[in-house]
Amino acid sequence: MPEDKSLDCLFCKMADGRMQVPYVDSDENYFAIDDIDPKAPIHTLVIPRRHFDDIAKVDDQMLMGHLFVKAAQIAHKKGLGNGFRVVVNTGADGGQSVGHVHIHILGGRQMQWPPG
């Protein structure tokens, strides 16, 4: 039987209430939190409640569309009208530090390119 990675997943624990965190926004499909180690003045994470190891394993197009729409709405609510960046890190080489897909919203300062 396959191992259920969601049992030990940090974001799954936040999603199902095993770990209490203040949500910036949420619905039945996702929640958003402010990053505890921000890389910009505004750094919020948009996280699906359903566990996916990374974006390469997501099989739900409607969910991903919903997450990106919510990311844009949250950026607007946080006053990022002059611009913001959305990032999805994938895998170790891509900088993914939590094995659960999530979207970073970064803003509140001029973003540089290339980022790293």
Query: Is 43 among the catalytic positions?
Result: no
Counting beta carbons within 10 angstroms of the beta carbon of residue 44, is it exposed (0 to 12), middle (13 to 18) or buried (19 or more)?
buried
Inform me whether the pLDDT recorded for 115 exceeds 60: yes
8-20: burial string, b at 16+ Cβ within 10 Å, e else:
ebebbbbbeeeee
Q: How confident is the model at residue 3, as a pLDDT?
A: 53
Domain boundaries, the chain: 5-107
Question: What integer best gives the mean pLDDT of the chain?
Answer: 94
Over residues 21-74, the pLDDT tens digits come to 999 999 999 999 999 999 999 999 999 999 999 999 999 999 999 999 999 999
Q: Which CATH architecture has domain 5-107?
A: 2-Layer Sandwich (3.30)
- Residue 50: what pLDDT? 96
Give pLDDT tens digits for 81-97.
999 999 999 999 999 99
Which residue in the list 43, 51, 102, 104 is annotated as catalytic? 102
87's tokens = 């990032």
How many Cβ atoms from other residues are within 10 Å of residue 88's Cβ?
A: 19
